[in-house]
A and B are shown apart, each in its own frame.
Chain A
């Protein structure tokens, strides 16, 4: 029984990470094609990412857009979570559902709508439009994460702080926010990952100058299947893992 369970678990894990196992080694191929077997180990595709301006530009764009999205979505999502918390139970559920809608609505639908609005206002194909679009779909992740953290705070602790002489802004800064911080940080990480990964919306609202890494990978897959894609994927994965590790470390330090 124990063995069966272990095998089952191993299979599930394999199912989850198999695509990564397939693609990651190809980042280090010396061949010009995205195929096995790998003739020899080489960093030439990483070099290509840095040297070829389409790729380096895409990486820079992704960092700018994901960074801005993270800041915006974290701020807005946290405020939304705080606002929802102070609402009565009935209204809270309804408004929360509204906030989570971007998670459920197909990205294509959102993309069409956003493009229509942005074009009319005349700001489509700008950094702003891409960041705004990414923020919309990142907010739900922050909201869920921060709401969870806030739900774990005993309101009596905040009352105690107030009775001890802390004005409401100080209660927030010294008690509520520090206690919700783990949720805010995981929300920020999720927002960053969401933006980094997002393709569909980007296709609608970004112009040639806002080509992100994900978008670039997507289009280069159609044009020529170069192992540079694998290298880019490698960078994204390593970046994500680093962010997650930093978060874990931060959390452990707090606990």
Chain B
């Protein structure tokens, strides 16, 4: 298979979703629109994907992510705009000529064929010599650790095994792109996490270009080079996982990825990257934020629960980024504690390690956060 490491651009430095036809734009969507009757499900969408890149399309159901994948696979027509693969316009190219491996959520194995026959199918469609087919099928099944199950029919395999057969079938013919439509959605949690690591490993080892549709943010964070966050037919942000989580582009992204506390306030001043933010109770804090904010504008401060620190109310020194409050509730979550605090700036949810278990509801506390951990976005 296509050995070698993916190009450097795939490693997570790109934050732009669009960039015109640069050399490394292996797949590009430009101004892509899709209507179902009078309903517009994808609107003027721009997305460029480099060869060897793992891009997740993440969003709630009905956000257009699956439709985009179906257009790329050729199962849905494109209403407007253009999809290019390796420089070639593929809007009207029939699915079977696109050379893309598709993995479906329900596996979509051929029920009347054994695992080996399923995997051999794409090779036989390409007229691969018989001896080579047998060899490659064996290797592909080995790769997904299903060698001993080659002769089984799909109904004789468990869900996880079926999905691995589907994976082998989508990879065995070395497609130019692998498309995955919520492939792990039907598996239980443990198996899902194992498969995430397996797919991630295959991606690195084989240098595959993978487009992965999911509504599970953990899955997207675990596996992707970049995450494209979808809502209402548009990409809200497209960036590496760390960037999407730490520096969400807007309120939707901040709330959809992970959990966050949103505090309404006003931008007081901007100095380079540092933003001075005024909370309604009059307190001032310093944080970072999205570009394009103006002093005096209404804005939201996003605070991740795990970035909030708690200290004893009397021990804390005064200063910016500190508020006082009282613990309303503590919820034990196994590996961490969720602490609900009624503070002077509003209700906050903080996430603490188990060592902080000495806090009890009713305790007066001071909450604080690092300047680099607060993130200001437009309301």
A contact residues vs B (CB 8 Å cutoff): 154, 156-157, 159-168, 170, 174-175, 178-179, 254
Contact = CB atoms under 8 A, between A and B. Distances in A.
B112 A254 contact: yes
A181 to B, nearest CB: 9
Contacts of B110: 157, 160-161, 175
B108 A164 contact: no
B73 A163 contact: yes
Contacts of B334: none
Contact of A179 (B74, B96, B106, B111): B111
Contacts of B173: 164-165
B126 A165 contact: yes
Contact of A164 (B75, B106, B169): B169
Contact of A159 (B95, B101, B109, B170): B95
Contact of B102 (A160, A167, A174, A254): A160
Given A164-B122, A164-B169, A156 B95 contact: no
Interface string B47-85: 000000000000000000000000001110000000000
B329 interface: no
A229 B133 CA distance: 60
A48 B104 CA distance: 64
Interface residues of B, number: 27
A183 to B, nearest CB: 13
Contacts of A160: 102, 104, 108-110, 166, 169
Interface of B: 73-75, 94-96, 98-102, 104, 106, 108-112, 121-122, 125-126, 166, 169-170, 173, 179
A154 B125 contact: no
Contact of A163 (B101, B106, B109, B112): B101
A178 B179 CA distance: 27
Contacts of A159: 73, 75, 95, 102, 104, 108
13 contacts: A160-B102, A160-B104, A160-B108, A160-B109, A160-B166, A160-B169, A161-B121, A163-B100, A164-B102, A164-B125, A165-B173, A166-B125, A174-B121
Given A162-B96, A165-B125, A170-B125, A156 B106 contact: yes
A95 B111 CA distance: 30
A159 B94 CA distance: 11
B121 A163 contact: no
A167 B104 CA distance: 19
A160 B170 CA distance: 9
Nearest to A171: B96
A210 B182 CA distance: 61
A154 B173 CA distance: 23
A160 B100 CA distance: 10
Contacts of A178: 112
A20 B106 CA distance: 48
